Structure 1
Amino acid sequence: MISLRQLTIRYADAVAPTLRDVTLEIDEGELVVVVGRTGSGKSTLLGALNGHVPHFTGGTVHGSVVVAGRDTATHRPRDLADIVGVVGQDPLAGFVTDTVEEELAYGMEQLALPPATMRKRVEETLDLLGIADLRAAPLRDLSGGQQQRVAIGAVLTTHPRLLVLDEPTSALDPTGAEEVLATITRLVHDLGVTVVIAEHRLERVLQYADHVLDVVDGQVRSGSPAEIMRTSRIAPPVVELGRWAGWSPLPVSIRDARRAAAPLRTALSHTSASKVYVTSSTVDPAGGDINPASRGYGQGPAAPGLTAHRVRVDYGRVRAVADVSVAFAAGRITALMGRNGSGKSSLLWALQGSGPRTGGTVRLPDGSDPRDLKPAERRRRVVLVPQNASDLLYLESVAAECHCADADSGHATGHTAALLETFAPGIPPERHPRDLSAGQQLALVLAVQLSAAPDVLLLDEPTRGLDYPAKAALTTTLRALAAQGQPVVVSTHDVEFVADCADEVVVLAEGELIAQGPSAEVVAASPAFAPQLAKVLAPHPILTLAQLQQALPQGDSR
């Protein structure tokens, strides 16, 4: 189905090739997962499969890419549109119509399919992805997760032979991601569609993979999931657990890991009477302790940092947030969770003061309401990093963005660039921000915004496009900010990030607050929001490998 021969791709003015001497074969009806660090070349590899690279991106290509017998050197993307479907990282950027139903039909219109066929496929796809109630909805009014479902549906309606997806579940809630991946798996097994997925949240997709492509320094290794994960620098928690425990074969699914973990659960039962399991907030990524006093623990109730009372947000007749009252404590990291469209983003913008608020009040520690502050002061005191982080990038180079952030925040030159290096190392300073991957753009925006050390930090899906090391770096940064007394609120679907980072969890549904409490209690009690290790080690309240290592020192039981 796909044949790459000695493929080397170098972009203009690049110091080194993005991909070097890549040779591999992908058979028809395979599901292939592409892994690698942010900026490693995954998107370039995917772009080469439909001719987007180099026909639109430019650059120099040596070697060949042949898809279903068509050489991409002589076939432009439009010549491959009937056999290759592509879903990019930014769904909104790829939409060409106004409503959901129109977008689902657009690709079929370009292929001149009969109207009866188009209508049938649109209805099937609406039901398949659970978006039938959105058929007439304007695309720009949808949540990020809903937009991503529509983008996937718009490709599925054309019935491609090769489906290429770049971070397809990054904006989806856990249940929605499972539904989409189940749909994709059915396409592979029932229709023989070949699927290539680049995804950072490997805990969601790895168990479905037939093969894994590991992109490291421009070179690509190919092998089975267990084989590649044994040494890959990018691995989900269940694989990290298997490596630590020395299991062979290495499990890549919850089911396999749970079977292998029976001795660990027995050992935890023997220690439960004498050991107290810590919450994620008291363990750093390396497994050491963080001083609880620095995070507000052990000193009575934490001081309020940002409070909302009966906040309500309406969009016409639609109530996005329904009388939510919640306090976000100073020195704590609070995760805001809930299915797509539950009102998380609307609540964040209402808290920040720039978004609509139909009713209710929001108060900072000094009693002021962010909505009443002047825009410049509001941006300084209450920072919100939106889902589409690229909206905040407007200069001509990465270096210019970093220099501007240093000047605005009063830091010495290089402060923001150093922060960026912790999130996404190796980004050329002369690169235009629009030429970065979605993950690199997010890392740049995070570095720019965090350099100002705001009074309150609000983040909307901050881990989209970030790999595991980058998320660990973000966790360390957010903990440092919280340790200084700042309230940090993170809206996210990333349950592993919540397990590692959050002190508390607030869950929304249909705009209403339905659950609030310590992260270990809220996420472990939910089948949808529970992280991998909580499922593997249940009923023991262990969320992360660091907690397990603390509860079972090396040698207790493997």
Structure 2
Amino acid sequence: MIRFEQVSVTYGDAGAPAVQGVDLTVPEGELCLLVGPSGVGKSTVLNAISGLVPHFTGGTLHGRVTVDGRDTRTHRPRELADVVGTVGQDPLSHFVTDTVEDELAYGMESLGLAPDVMRRRVEETLDLLGLAGLRDRAITTLSGGQQQRVAIGSVLTTHPKVLVLDEPTSALDPAAAEEVLAMLQRLVHDLGTTVLLAEHRLERVVQYADQVILLPAPGAAPVIGEPAEIMAISPVHPPVVALGRAAGWSPLPLTVRDARRKAGALRERLAGRSPAAPDAAAGAPPAPGEAAAPVAEATGLSVRRGRIDALHRVGLAVRPGETVALMGRNGAGKSTLLNTLVGMHEPAAGSVRVSGAVPHRTGPRDLLRRVGLVPQEPRDLLYADTVGAECAAADADAGAAPGSCRALVTRLLPDVPDGTHPRDLSEGQRLALALAVVLTARPPLLLLDEPTRGLDYAAKARLVEVLRGLAAEGHAIVLATHDVELAAELAHRVVILADGEIVADGPTAEVVVASPAFAPQVAKVLAPLPWLTVPQVTHALAELEHTA
């Protein structure tokens, strides 16, 4: 169905190809997973299938890409639209209409389908993706995860033979991600749809893949094979695979169920031990200023967005040195709470204070030194033409010493030159740049909305290291995330929101383990033992070997 023949792609004046030596075949009716570190060219490979490369993105394509027999060099994206459906990393750039139902119908209208067929497919897709209650909503009022589902649905209604998805679950809560992946499986198994997807959250998707394509490094030829075979050599792999490597299991498990079957001896070795304090961020009290006054405090906070009660009587206090993870299903109010803390929404009732100031009544320059927000869409913070110019502007705005922002960028994004345009960065790289811009002002309160979206495991580990260092220095951190692994590794507390209300607030180890939807893979494998992360387990195993 999809054939790459010695394909390489070079953009503009780049000194080296973005991808090189791609020679592979994806058969009809298979779910193929594309993996690799951030910036290795996964999006380029996906865009070559839809014809966006080179017709839309520019650059030079050598070799040949065919989809259902059509050569993408001679068929532009619109001439492939009936065969290939594409959902990119940024759902907002995908939308053409204003409401959910209109967006689902738009692609079918473009293909000239009959009205009765369109109506039936819209209803099927609304039910399939759990969007029926949102059919009349304006797309701009939806949460990021809801927008992601609409973007996927708008492609599904045209019934493409090939479905190409770039980070399809990155903005979805665990339950919604499971629904989308189950839906993709039904398309593959029941309709013979060919699905090729790139995803960094491999713990969600690797068990569904028929084959895995690994791009090990920029410009390196891909490696293709069975999921277990590729995960054994891949530099990016889910926690359950990392646990299997640490425990010496063979073959490596891809699912929690497989890992639990192998974990009996490991549970016996760890019985009676507790996670080491430095690695057990979850539930550990913040070292500095636990009794200090809150950096941020909301009391009886209610926020309305149009006709919707986005938050209802929320009470939350965050102290210096504390890291709090906001979790909950899409549309629960997580982003609204962060935006209210940074002054973007005025409370309908109750109060909110950040570092002694009322956010929505405080000027931007003053607020910048009290609180910083890294939004879901990092491009909202990036305006300059180069990475170097962004760093210089961030230093000037924050009154920081020249080079401060650049040092943070180097720490988070090794090997990204100053002359690179932010739009040429991958989604994960743009996120890291936006984080560096915000951190330059060193605000007492740092807010992050889905901070690991588009990040591979290595980049996420660097982010965790930076945020832990900030917490140790006394910065308060609040992050809205669907990444249960990040919450387990980084957060002292987890706050779960549902329909704008707080339904759980407590130490991470207690809250995430109490809910199967929010429990990390290691906790599921080693339950009822109190282990949450692979570093905790590897540290304990190293101690056991040392004392043996």
- Return the TM-score normalized by structure 2: 0.96
The residue type equivalent to 2:319 in the other structure is A
Which residue of structure 2 aligns with residue 247 of structure 1? 249
Q: Is the 8 A contact 2:387 2:419 kept in 1?
A: yes
- Asked if the contact 2:326–2:497 (Cα under 8 Å) also holds between the matched residues in 1, the reply is yes
SS at match of 2:360: helix
Name the structure 2 match of 1:32.
32
Aligned 1:90-169 pairs, distance under 5 A: 90-169=90-169
Contact conserved, 2:368 with 2:441, CA < 8 A, in 1? no
* Paired position in structure 1 for 2:203: 203
Partners of 1:414 and 1:17 in 2: CA distance:
30
What is aligned with 2:455?
466
Task: Measure the CA separation in 2 of the matches of 1:228 and 1:148.
Answer: 28
Aligned residue number for residue 351 of structure 2: 361
Deviation at 1:300, TM superposition (A): 6.2
User: Amino acid of the residue matched to residue 193 of structure 1?
Assistant: T
Identify if the C-alpha distance between structure 1 residues 191 and 556 changes in structure 2 by more than 3 Å, giving closer, same or farther.
farther
Q: What is the match of residue 500 of structure 1? A: 489
1:277 aligns with 2:290: no
Identify the residue that residue 306 of structure 2 maps to in structure 1. Answer: 316
Q: Answer yes or no: is 1:347 the counterpart of 2:337.
A: yes
Deviations 1:34-77 (A, max 9, x none): 11111110000100011100011111111110111011111111
Greater shift in the superposed pair: 11-20 or 210-219: 210-219
CA contact (8 A) 1:267 1:556 kept: no
Q: 1:525 aligns with which of 514, 537, 546?
A: 514
The amino acid of 1:350's aligned partner reads: T
Partner of 2:258: 256
**Structure 1 position 13, deviation (Å):** 0.6
Where do residues 182-261 of structure 1 align in structure 2 (5 Å cutoff)? Answer: 182-215=182-215, 216-219=217-220, 220-261=222-263
Secondary structure of the structure 1 residue equivalent to 2:22: strand
Question: What's the CA shift string for 1:454-473, capped at 9, x where partnerless?
Answer: 11111111111111111111
Q: CA deviation at 1:539?
A: 0.8
Q: Deviations over 1:455-494 (max 9, x none)?
A: 1111111111111111111111111111111110000001
1:146 CA displacement: 0.3
Q: CA deviation at 1:277?
A: 3.0
2-structure distance, mates of 1:501, 1:11: 37
Among 272, 290, 295, the alignment partner of 1:305 is 295
The CA RMSD measured in Å over matched residues stands at 1.9
Report the equivalent of 1:543: 532
- Of residues 381, 384, 388 in structure 2, which corresponds to 1:399? 388
296, 299, 311: which is aligned to 2:287?
296
Displacement after TM superposition at 1:93 (Å): 1.0
Structure 2 unmatched ranges of 5 or more: none
Report if aligned partners of 2:5, 2:23 keep a CA contact under 8 Å in 1: yes
Offset of residue 296 of structure 1? 2.2
The answer to whether the 8 A contact 2:27-2:194 is kept is: yes
Give the match for residue 270 of structure 2: 268
Task: Report percent identity of matched pairs.
Answer: 58
User: What pairs up with 1:383-422 in 2 under 5 angstroms?
Assistant: 383-422=372-411
Q: Distance in 2 between matches of 1:164 and 1:426?
A: 29
SS of equivalent to 2:50: coil
Checking the alignment, whether the CA contact within 8 Å between 1:238 and 1:257 is kept in structure 2 is yes
1:424 aligns with 2:413: yes
Q: Confirm or deny: 8 A CA contact 1:34 1:198 kept in the other structure.
A: yes
Distance 1:543 1:175 in 2: 20
Alpha-carbon separation, structure 1, partners of 2:541 and 2:456: 27
Q: What is the rounded CA distance, in whole Å, between the counterparts of 1:416 and 1:155 in structure 2?
A: 39
Any conservation in 2 of the 1:353–1:370 contact (CA below 8 Å)? yes
Distance 2:39 2:447 in 1: 25
Q: Is this contact kept in 1: 2:341–2:354, CA < 8 A?
A: no
Task: Report if aligned partners of 1:296, 1:302 keep a CA contact under 8 Å in 2.
Answer: no
Q: Secondary structure at the match of 1:459?
A: strand
For these two proteins, the number of residue pairs brought into alignment is: 544
Partners in 1 of 2:345 and 2:164 — Cα distance? 35
Q: Does residue 380 of structure 1 match 2:378?
A: no
Structure 1 residue 49 corresponds to structure 2 residue 42: no
Deviation digits for residues 324-354 of structure 1 (CA, Å, limit 9, x no counterpart): 1111121010000110001111111111222
Report deviation, 1:304.
2.2
Q: Partners of 1:224 and 1:328 in 2: how far apart?
A: 46
| Cα-to-partner distance string for 1:376-397 (whole Å, 9 max, x where unaligned) | 1112211111111111111111
Contact 2:39/2:218 (<8 A) preserved: no
Task: Give the equivalent residue in structure 1 for 2:21.
Answer: 21
TM-score (norm 1): 0.94
Deviation track 1:134-167 (CA, whole Å, cap 9, x = no partner) reads 0110011100000000000000101111000000
Structure 1 pair 471/23, CA: closer, same or farther in 2 (3 Å)?
same
Q: CA deviation at 1:429?
A: 2.3
- Specify every segment of 5 or more residues in structure 1 that has no aligned partner in the other structure, as ranges: none
What's 2:465 paired with?
476
